[in-house]
Chain A
Amino acid sequence: MRVTNKMLHTNLLRNLNRNLNMMSKTQEQMSSGKKVSRPSDNPIDVTLIMGMKSILSEQETHIKNMEDGIGWLEATDQALANLGEVVKRASELALQGANGTASQDARIAIAQEIGQLIDEAKQIINTNYAGRYIFGGTNTSNPPVDGSNQFRGNSSKMNWEIGPGVTIAINTTGEVFNGGTVGTPPYEPQMITVLKDLKTALEDSSGDPSASIGELDKQMDAILNERASVGAKSRRLEMAKSRAEEVNLDLGELTSKLEDIDIAEVSMTYAMQEAVYQAALMTGARILQPTLLNFLR
């Protein structure tokens, strides 16, 4: 084949250009830290990355929901534990009051403490967590129990999504304060009624406080049942959350494998490309100089 000077020149330029193009691509990867920066770089990987990022984002949403849920359930459990203490104390006091040896003065003193317990129970029912009343159903912005001891919340559950299509009813509603039975608001929760009855029985010298003991046990059962359910939900969320976090870690790693460059590998590639580029430049400088012209007088 006949070789002309222009051919050498065009070839050299083309090769230099190709090398520069590859270097610029590698440099883009180094500076962005990403293997692909546009869909045409690798359409399949780009789609995979986009899909994984969406799944990751969804997972993060669920993890956040679970974290919030765990917080909510802890607040619920703490409130119910406190209420349990109130009922326990009330039972003790009822027993003391029912004892025939108690004087009327002592019974009045006990009745006063029961009065305190009623206030405390109301306060517990009106617990708020992050500014929301947690026992009022979806009526989260008003205290469930008003000044006249009427429960104004509803029995609506708040369903939070904790997995794709999986929801959990996060809130405990008013039944727990009503011996486990649903009431039609506004109503006075049995919890308050029982304590009030006990107080009245103690204040009245002929009253029989022992009648309240059975009622208090019923309230205690409702509280313990609910606490068991809250605890179970909490454990479920804890487990689901750590599983989701593990999956997220794996997914993140997988995404990173698809998306992120291996610095060592890319640096090596770059060094190689640079060497090739320099070699092309050097041969270019040598090959372009000599023509027959240089050797004629």
Chain B
Amino acid sequence: MSGTFFGFNTALRGLFAQQKAINTTAHNIANANTPGFTRQQAIMETTAPFPLPSLNRPGGAGQLGTGVDVAEIRRIRDLFLDKQIRAELQSLGRYEEEWKTMGQVETIFMEPGDTGLSKIFDDFWQAWSELSKNAENSPIRTSLKELSVTLADNLNHLARQLDTVYNDLNQVAAIRVSEINAITNKIASLNGQIEAIQAAGDQPNDLRDQRDALLDDLAKIIDYSYEETNTGSINIQINVLDNSVSPPSEQAVNLVDGNIVNLLSFSDDPAIKGDEKLQLTVAGPPDVVYQVVVKNGQMKGLENTRQNVNKYREDLNTLVSTLADEINKLHQTGYSLGATAPSGINFFEYDATDPALTISLNSAIASDVSMIAASSTPGSDNKGDGEIALQIYQLSRTALDGLGKSTIGNYYKNFISSIGVTANAAKTNEFNQQALVDQLNGRKESVSGVSIDEEMANMMMFQRSYEAAAKIITTLDEMIQTVLGLKR
């Protein structure tokens, strides 16, 4: 049989529980706009009834409930959705990085336009045609000289700009690596705190939110796999190439293990252009260094675009060296204005280590346009001979071995087309992937987001329940007054 004051405790528990629930509501409302916040719910459970079932149970109807208790304050979150979002964020990070760089690369070329290389090439060839008709004409020679300088300058400029993009990519990669290290450090430290709090029997909801947000951030940068241990920490693994076995095999290595972090480093050794290595140092002793295999995320995007830009740079070099070689070959056999011996000089000059960056008009021609060898016959009696100029002009239509049997114009066109297709794919991929991630985030928000309407309704519900529980105390008090009033 329950005591006189039994009901007070039941009502008191009710007061406490509703108060806790309303405090949770307050926390939810306060964090309605906090990024990464998951709405929380006070999970109420009835407390153990009185009396507990036993052999010597007193007579009478039972059991009598003893009230309510908040058993847990739980995050409302779909862990499966989290995994899916992280997988898609990896692709989004990659496409974003690719589109950003490809967008930059394609603007460098300014095609199709009146200032692009294509137009400069057209003007350049036209100048040779003019010279073939007016070989002795000094103003026409001068205009060819100027156009050749413009062409060379533009090629140098393109090479320099591509180099800038390439170097920027390396810098970005280095920054991303330090971001990864910062994130994994924070995750490891959160792991430690979460473990400690869980061990004490509490739910570290807000810390988990923070850790989930960090996992999302990390997913954008690099691909990884993760699992939660039963102590509450999250271990993160990435793929590396194990060079100690032959052939080198891929294996997963911990990036974060509990509160231990293994650090990544990035080496941009110019000797291995286009193939810079991302390295993971697993803390020893002794420390082991692995080569990371990146399959997705911004790091993969960076790796891809680095290779692309490097290839564009090589293609530009091929274009430039072939152009210069073919023109020079003809030019050397020609005669300068009024000369009696073949000029033997190059029209364009370049340094073989980097043709696009170094191509320039031969300085002898730059300072004296009569040095342009337009004539196929020697002597001052043949100044009007523009045969060599004509042959050089006709190079514009010649399929060249150096360019894989392509003309200079077509080679450049294919080059631009390849940039366009790659950039277009990157843009489309980025757009679609963003839509996909937005949709998944919408679903996540639908589960975990704070609805003000809902919180308001809950608040009223908890408020009313609190009032009702208080009312029970008042009622019980009145009842006791009645009993006490018997003996007046």
Q: Which one, B88-96, B298-306, B413-421, is touching chain A?
A: B413-421
Between A4, A42, A51, A136, the greatest number of chain B beta carbons within 10 A of the residue's beta carbon is seen for: A4
Q: Is the CB of B383 within 8 A of A140?
A: yes
| Proximity bits, B422-462, A CB within 8 Å = 1, else 0 | 01101100000000001001100111011111101100100
Task: Decide if A68 is an interface residue (CB 8 Å cutoff).
Answer: yes
Cα distance A42–B421 in the bound complex, in angstroms: 8
| Proximity bits, A13-53, B CB within 8 Å = 1, else 0 | 01000000000000000000000111111111011011101
Count, chain B residues at interface, CB 8 A? 68
Q: Is the CB of B387 within 8 A of A165?
A: no
Closest to B409 in A: A54
Q: Which one, B15-23, B59-67, B105-113, B282-290, is touching chain A?
A: B105-113
- CB-contacts of B461-488 with A (<8 A): none
Closest to A170 in B: B133
Task: Decide if B265 is an interface residue (CB 8 Å cutoff).
Answer: no
Q: Is the CB of B453 within 8 A of A292?
A: yes
On whether A40 and B457 interact (CB within 8 A), knowing A49-B112, A65-B133, the answer reads no
Cα distance A296–B459 in the bound complex, in angstroms: 11
Enumerate chain B residues within 8 angstroms of A264, measured Cβ to Cβ: none
Q: Is the CB of B133 within 8 A of A158?
A: yes
Q: Is the CB of A158 within 8 A of B384?
A: yes
Cross-interface CB contact of A156 among B126, B377, B419, cutoff 8 Å = B377
Q: Is the CB of B417 within 8 A of A6?
A: no
Enumerate chain A residues within 8 angstroms of B426, measured Cβ to Cβ: 40
Q: Is the CB of B381 within 8 A of A40?
A: no
On whether A152 and B381 interact (CB within 8 A), knowing A4-B445, A4-B451, A5-B32, the answer reads yes
Cα distance A46–B126 in the bound complex, in angstroms: 22
Closest to A159 in B: B390
Q: Is the CB of A154 within 8 A of B382?
A: yes
Enumerate chain B residues within 8 angstroms of A137, measured Cβ to Cβ: 384
Cα distance A47–B129 in the bound complex, in angstroms: 25
Q: Is the CB of A140 within 8 A of B384?
A: yes
Cross-interface CB contact of B424 among A3, A40, A49, A61, cutoff 8 Å = A40
Enumerate chain A residues within 8 angstroms of B132, measured Cβ to Cβ: 159-161
Cα distance A262–B372 in the bound complex, in angstroms: 46
Task: Decide if B72 is an interface residue (CB 8 Å cutoff).
Answer: no
Enumerate chain B residues within 8 angstroms of A140, measured Cβ to Cβ: 136, 383-384
Q: How far is the CB of A237 from chain B (nearest CB, A)?
A: 13
On whether A2 and B396 interact (CB within 8 A), knowing A53-B112, A159-B390, the answer reads no
On whether A10 and B377 interact (CB within 8 A), knowing A43-B420, A158-B384, the answer reads no
Q: Is the CB of A139 within 8 A of B133?
A: no
Q: Is the CB of A50 within 8 A of B118?
A: yes
Task: Decide if A188 is an interface residue (CB 8 Å cutoff).
Answer: no
Task: Decide if A282 is an interface residue (CB 8 Å cutoff).
Answer: no
Q: Is the CB of B385 within 8 A of A138?
A: yes
Q: Is the CB of B381 within 8 A of A154?
A: yes
Q: Is the CB of A161 within 8 A of B453?
A: no
Enumerate chain B residues within 8 angstroms of A116, measured Cβ to Cβ: none
Cα distance A137–B396 in the bound complex, in angstroms: 27
- CB-contacts of A204-219 with B (<8 A): none
Q: Is the CB of A5 within 8 A of B452?
A: yes
Task: Decide if A233 is an interface residue (CB 8 Å cutoff).
Answer: no
Cross-interface CB contact of B383 among A41, A61, A138, A296, cutoff 8 Å = A138
Q: How far is the CB of B33 from chain A (nearest CB, A)?
A: 7
Task: Decide if A150 is an interface residue (CB 8 Å cutoff).
Answer: no
Between B112, B393, B420, B457, the greatest number of chain A beta carbons within 10 A of the residue's beta carbon is seen for: B112
Cα distance A161–B112 in the bound complex, in angstroms: 27
Enumerate chain B residues within 8 angstroms of A65, measured Cβ to Cβ: 129, 133
On whether A161 and B129 interact (CB within 8 A), knowing A40-B420, A47-B416, A293-B456, the answer reads yes
Enumerate chain B residues within 8 angstroms of A49, measured Cβ to Cβ: 112
Enumerate chain A residues within 8 angstroms of B393, measured Cβ to Cβ: 161
| Proximity bits, B353-395, A CB within 8 Å = 1, else 0 | 0000000000000000000000101001111111100100110
Enumerate chain A residues within 8 angstroms of B441, measured Cβ to Cβ: 10
Task: Decide if B103 is an interface residue (CB 8 Å cutoff).
Answer: yes
Chain A contact residues, CB within 8 Å of chain B: 1-7, 10-11, 14, 36-44, 46-47, 49-51, 53-54, 57-58, 60-61, 64-65, 68, 132, 136-142, 152, 154, 156, 158-161, 164-165, 167, 259, 291-293, 296
27 A-B pairs (CB sep. < 8 Å): A1-B446, A4-B449, A4-B450, A4-B452, A6-B449, A36-B112, A38-B103, A38-B420, A39-B106, A39-B111, A39-B423, A40-B420, A46-B111, A46-B416, A51-B409, A53-B112, A53-B118, A53-B122, A54-B118, A60-B126, A141-B136, A158-B384, A159-B390, A160-B133, A259-B112, A291-B453, A292-B453
Told that A6-B32, A132-B136 touch, could you supply 4 new A-B pairs with CB distance under 8 A?
A40-B103, A54-B122, A61-B125, A158-B386
Question: What are the 6 closest A-B residue pairs judged by CB atoms, nearest first?
Answer: A39-B420, A140-B384, A43-B420, A40-B423, A4-B449, A57-B122
